[in-house]
Structure 1
Amino acid sequence: MKVLIADDHPLVRDALARVLAGLDDGLEVAEAGDGHELIAQLEAQAFDLALVDLLMPAMNGPEDIRRLRQRWPALSLVVVSGQVDPGIVRAVLEAGAAGFVPKTGAADVLVVACRTVSAGGVYVPPHALLALRDAHAPARRDVVLTPRQQDVLALLMQGEPNRRIAQQLGVTEGTVKLHIASLLRALRARNRTEAVFRARQLGLTGH
């Protein structure tokens, strides 16, 4: 796995790299200190995952996340930021980020986030989800799911258990659980039943 860490503080980049060291035995890490270096690195080589500070120099918040997603649609972007306002979290996700991790969070949160995103999911830490609910953010009708998430959702809506979903998709049950967890976050649901109900409310049917 090739990961790009973009943050204007060298100590933060070093700390993030150390946390991710155990994520993959073959992990390759590159660094960028501002938005210009971030673009230069992305133009120079392909990355599987990018951890991006939201407010570093030459980086102007969620709109730049949207531009990055448009230019490199296959790149998984996780915002790592000290800005945890519910409106910022919501804007970042709507701009196309696959995850949001507060800099105040524990190291294992970052690992869980990267694993979830690498499996095709979307990660938002629990307390950020609670903050969004507390802010009474309206349910989005433009929820965007990955093709694999749509496959899992379609089988959930048919009432299939994890074992059958894994068999039909040719993946492990552990991978299915990761996809279901990401669906619950994306749909702001507490369980499978609520996820199916909300998906139908939003007109989502999977494939």
Structure 2
Amino acid sequence: MRILIADDHELLRDTLLLYIDNEPGMDAESVEDLGSVVSRLTAGEVYDLILLDFTMPGMNGLDGLRRIMEMPGGHRVAIISGTAQRDTAEEALAAGAAGFLPKTLSAKSLVNALRFMALGEQYAPLDFMRASEEDAQEHPLAKQLSQREYEVLEGLTQGKSNKEIARDLDIREPTVKLHVKTLYRKIGAANRTQAAMIAKEEGLF
């Protein structure tokens, strides 16, 4: 089973390669953007499954997924993401994606999912698909925040920079700074570290 991982975070790529290459019958390669995927497929490379990071350069939302699926060869393509919500996963699956993989999946679950998708099945974790943004907003701390402030706070808890959060949410960096400032005031935080600690201590993420 030959797998191509496309993700612009080097640490994640290396970690996934390590997991997959340790599995019998699996061989993985990696690239860092959508253009590199297109180049490999255009050159005639063949993969049983291609994993695309939802927010890497070139993706433009799910346009990148559709672009790869429309290339000659009938490629099996799945989305992997640490930020996308359930509606994005549902849209990807409806578009014909082989699956949707949250980056929170355990190594064992990930490998099982890859095998499942490579066999022609469609995969998405049930617990993720059953969860909803409305569930999160029932949390007392979340109720104090707008949807965008909630999303920015989630990025802070993941240790992301303002630039990374802006890219993930498809908004401008100054807008992220404004949301950070307002959510600090609302939850009583003085800085990024404290905001992340409050969110985690309250069980928000």
TM-score by length of 1: 0.59
Aligned length: 134
**2:127 is paired with a residue of what secondary structure?**
helix
CA-to-aligned-CA distance 1:139-182 (integer Å, 9 cap, x gap): xxxxxxxxxxxxxxxxxxxxxxxxxxxxxxxxxxxxxxxxxxxx
The secondary structure found in structure 2 opposite 1:4 is strand
Q: Which residue of 2 aligns with 1:104?
A: 104
Shift of 1:43: 1.5
Partner of residue 65, structure 1: 65
User: Structure 2 counterpart of 1:32, which letter?
Assistant: V
Q: Secondary structure at the match of 2:37?
A: helix
CA separation of 1:75 and 1:127: change in aligned 2, threshold 3 A: same
Which residue matches 1:115? 115
Q: Deviations over 1:186-205 (max 9, x none)?
A: xxxxxxxxxxxxxxxxxxxx
Question: What corresponds to 2:87 in structure 1?
Answer: 87
Deviation at 1:90, TM superposition (A): 0.9
Structure 1 residue matching 2:131: 3-state secondary structure: helix
SS where residue 80 of structure 1 aligns?
A: strand
Question: 1:42, CA displacement in angstroms?
Answer: 1.6
Cα gap change, 1:84 to 1:58, in 2 (>3 Å): closer
Identity %: 35
Q: Tell me the CA shift for residue 63 of structure 1.
A: 2.1
Higher Cα radius of gyration: 2
Q: What letter matches 1:34 in structure 2?
A: D
SS in 2 for 1:38: helix
Distance in 1 between residues matched to 2:10 and 2:127, nearest whole Å: 27
CA distance in 2, matches of 1:125, 1:101: 7
CA contact (8 A) 1:32 1:41 kept: no
C-alpha change, 1:93 and 1:21, in structure 2 (3 Å) is same
- Aligned-pair Cα RMSD in Å: 2.1
- Report the Cα distance in structure 2 between the residues aligned to 1:28 and 1:107, rounded to whole angstroms: 15
Q: Tell me which stretches of 4 or more aligned residues in structure 1 moved more than 4 Å.
A: none
> Is the Cα–Cα contact under 8 Å of residues 34 and 64 in structure 2 kept in the other structure?
no
Q: Is the 8 A contact 2:7 2:56 kept in 1?
A: yes
Contact 1:6 1:50 in 2 (8 A): yes
What residue is the counterpart of 2:49 in the other structure?
49
Q: Is the 8 A contact 1:89 1:128 kept in 2?
A: no
Gaps of 5+ in 1: 136-207
Look up the SS of the partner of 2:80 in the other structure.
strand
Structure 1 residue 17: Cα displacement: 0.9
Distance in 1 between the 2:113 and 2:14 partners?
18
**Residue 33 of structure 1 pairs with residue 32 of structure 2:** yes
The alpha-carbon deviation at position 66 of structure 1 amounts to 1.4
Check whether the contact 2:113–2:123 (CA below 8 A) recurs between aligned residues. Answer: yes
User: Structure 2: where are the runs of 5+ without partners?
Assistant: 136-205
